[in-house]
A and B are shown apart, each in its own frame.
Chain A
Amino acid sequence: MKKQALYLVSILIIFSMILSACSPATVEATQAPEATQAPAATQAPEPTAAPETSAAGTIDCKGAQSGDVVTMFYQWSGNEEERLNQILQPLVDACGIVVQPESSRDQALLDTRVQAGTPPDIAFFNVTQLEQYQDLLVPMTDLGANEANYPAYWREIGTINGSWLGLPVKADPKTLIWYSPVAFEAFGYEVPTTWDELEALADKMVADGNVPWSLGMESGDATGWTGSDFIQDILLVTQGPDYVMGLISGEIPYNDPGVKQAYEIYGRWASDAAYTVGGAQGTLETGFLDAIYLVFQDPFAAMMVKQSGFAGGEIAKQYPELAYGTDYDFFGVPGAQGLQGGSDWMMAFNNTPAVQALVAYLSSEAGGQSWAAAGFDVTPNSAGISAYTDEALLKKAEMLANATGFTPDLGDTIPGGFGSAEWAAIISYLSGGDLDAALTNVANVQAEALNK
């Protein structure tokens, strides 16, 4: 019987040996077709709106060979991915490099990859990750980024301890208020140009029986982010960009009276049913996408919604019959000094010719124009300004180009759960909690995150 047991075990061992012997060869075999199956690669060379013919001549492949693979990690998905593919297509066509993208909003996955020693060649992520991975990243100057296309303030944001680690690829200005020109016209309202005018306009709307704001902020476990955006805009109006940068660096604690004042200005609107749909409860419970629809549905429930640029796309999708410019439009938050917004950064973990080609392309004129033509928000690359085909994007790009500065979103920039703390403070304030205590909590998180 023992003999037979041994026999059985040896069969198992042989079987597993065969398995393991087979595996490398088969792995190669399964991998081979995958290069062509990667999303970006399968796409037949489509005539995109990008100025391909003129761009093709100016793309520098930096010695990348046809078939060189660039692995990428980004948090875009859905139609955002579609746009990125359009942008990269000229480079893929010109140099034959193969893009292997991977998409997840879970930053932990990127951390896992980095810790496992297999980071992607390129990651597109938030500005915080520049600091987090600063020891692993290849400086943009080594990769041949064209810095002439970026205003100094952009490069400063991407510079950590003296080296320029991140290339800003996409900006999403948030300092915008969306409204319906038709509705404004029907009631004789005019787009305000100063903060006082905005307050007066809101009061006038209330007097006319209209609800000025749609401030809904429900967004799952990120509930509150539309509120923190609004408060940061108010800070840009009342205190200015230096103050916001002071909050980011930790020089100004979050429980400073200036911040408290901004919360109170916001709270006056956000918790009053006359000023916002549903009052405090409506603000807390209305989804941020629904909040956009409330202004443009028929009949409208509110006159204005403060939301970043993506709102335009949402309106177009939900109400295909509405036209930009007459049925929906936006203006900058009046009186704001500088712009606030989200930004996406490209960081490189490896220095290969294909990565260099990608950096060179995205920072070049051709890359900036492709980005603008694809209409993937606004590119900080100053060469893009001539290539926007979408009116709303052009307007935003001009706002960005004329802006004296760009302050990143506080929650995206300060690490260590600061964003969530900020949202918790807003939720607690609107639910009737003590504002001072809430702000002190956030200030503690801020101090801890920045080691002050």
Chain B
Amino acid sequence: MSQSKITRSSINRFFNRMPLHLAVIGLMLIWLIPTIGLLVTSLRPVQSINTNGWWMVMAAPPGMESYNQYCGECHGPDGSKIETADLSDPAVIEQYPRSIQLLGMLRQEIDGQPHMGDLELPSAQEAADIAAQLKKMAGGEVTPRLTLNNYIDALVGYRGTNNYVDDCEAGAQAAGMNCNISDLLNPRGMGRAFINSLIVTIPATILPILFAAFAGYAFAWLDFKGRYWLFAILVGLQVIPLQMTLVPISRLYAQLGLNGTFWGVWLFHTGFGMPYSIYLMRNFLGTLPRDLFESAYLDGASHWTAFYKLAIPLAMPAIAALAIFQFLWVWNDLLVALVFLGGKHPVMTYQISNMVSSLGAGWHLLTAAAFLSMLLPMIVFFAFQRYFVRGMLAGAVKG
């Protein structure tokens, strides 16, 4: 008896919440549609991308229907009913590759009779569909609906005439391609750029957090003169837009020989990541109970011990959140990488921006390249997402 009550109430609750669930799911779908579109597009062959939209990917080709309507009765369903005009013979079909030739042939008379008899001529669109269908029936090559070629081309940075797989098979690959695993390290491919992005991102994430942890502890628990002023100035530094500093820092780097080196980018990202990181770390460490530290000091702990035995373990959520923020920011950064690394050590964002030619050709590669560059941030995000939410609130309660 009581069991059924519980079930009923939970069913009621389920239906009561139904509108909310539907709204949430609907919103999520709306948010996801562009990404889904991008994903589907990245998996389609370039010719199909340019022909119709991604939502047409599973649509049936209209050729069969038109063929049955106009030709099927006389030529038979497989086209071989009339021996003198065997439509499954590639040699016959070759003469009518497109609607113009097909329609021209259909307009001609056979033995003084119209080719189509009483039937009306197909429209241009229908004729084009029929021509495509005839090619298929004659055993012509069918473009697949989905392909991985975009991803492969983007990974190896292929810029040849066709695509990497086909050109390698035909032995007509572009200059510099070896058609083996070493192509993954081609300087213009996303594979190589992935490594460069990692080299840039990992130190540029660790360094600012390391310094910010030191500084945050110092601002929270070390008693020194003027620390509030220093802290205010540091936090105030956040207002400096990094775009304004590009030219002066570029000049400075030129004198120091840091232009185009990883050191230059690490330093830049560390510098600009610092104010926010320090702010967040100080606020987080400041909310830890004072008694905790005081009892540690009473027990004879030095600041150093208190820092790495107490502060760091307790600040893990804040550190993880900072790491996610900083990682995503550096990973997705184009401007700094473009100015300070440029083409010397191309990172993923730089490669993506150079996938297309100056006239916009080759943008099918962009879709695949975008997904390749999203891959790692997605993994990082899903792996650390619980810290992400916690960390956002870290500085929110106590300022």
Contacts and interface: CB of A to CB of B under 8 A. Distances in A.
Name A's interface SS. Answer: helix
Contacts of B99: 298-299
17 contacts: A4-B303, A8-B307, A30-B262, A31-B261, A76-B357, A77-B354, A77-B356, A78-B355, A79-B159, A86-B175, A103-B354, A104-B342, A106-B338, A118-B259, A186-B100, A310-B359, A317-B46
B242 interface: no
Interface string A285-329: 000111001000111100000000010011011111100000000
B250 interface: yes
Given A80-B358, A318-B47, 10 more contacts: A5-B222, A23-B263, A39-B187, A76-B358, A79-B159, A89-B175, A118-B251, A118-B259, A298-B99, A317-B46
Interface in A97-129: 100-106, 109, 112-113, 115-118
B37 interface: no
Closest 8 CB pairs of A and B: A299-B124, A116-B250, A78-B357, A102-B343, A43-B176, A77-B354, A298-B128, A82-B159
A182 B338 contact: no
A420 B88 CA distance: 54
Contacts of A101: 343
Contacts of B339: 109, 112
B51 A297 contact: yes
B100 A183 contact: yes
Interface in B353-384: 353-362
Given A116-B250, A310-B361, A100 B176 contact: no
Nearest to B222: A5
Contact of B258 (A27, A38, A313): A27
A319 B48 CA distance: 11
A81 interface: yes
B304 A37 contact: no
A452 B139 CA distance: 67
Interface in B150-179: 159-162, 174-176, 178
A85 interface: yes
Nearest to A79: B159
A85 B125 CA distance: 43
Nearest to B127: A299
Nearest to B140: A321
A85 B174 CA distance: 11
Given A76-B358, A81-B159, A27 B263 contact: yes
Interface centre among A23, A106, A115, A117 (most CB of B within 10 A): A23
A242 to B, nearest CB: 29
Given A78-B362, A105-B358, A46 B250 contact: no
Given A30-B262, A310-B359, A5 B97 contact: no
A48 interface: yes
Nearest to B351: A77
A404 interface: no
A85 B100 contact: no
B280 to A, nearest CB: 19
Contact of B160 (A12, A82, A299): A82
A238 to B, nearest CB: 28
A1 interface: yes
B361 A34 contact: no
Contact of B355 (A77, A102, A182, A317): A77
Contacts of B31: none
Contacts of A183: 100
A34 B104 CA distance: 60
A112 B223 contact: no
B360 to A, nearest CB: 6
Given A4-B303, A37-B187, A104-B338, A79 B357 contact: yes
B214 interface: yes
A44 interface: yes
A153 interface: no
B302 interface: yes
Contact of A182 (B47, B101, B361): B101
Interface string A21-40: 00110110011001001110
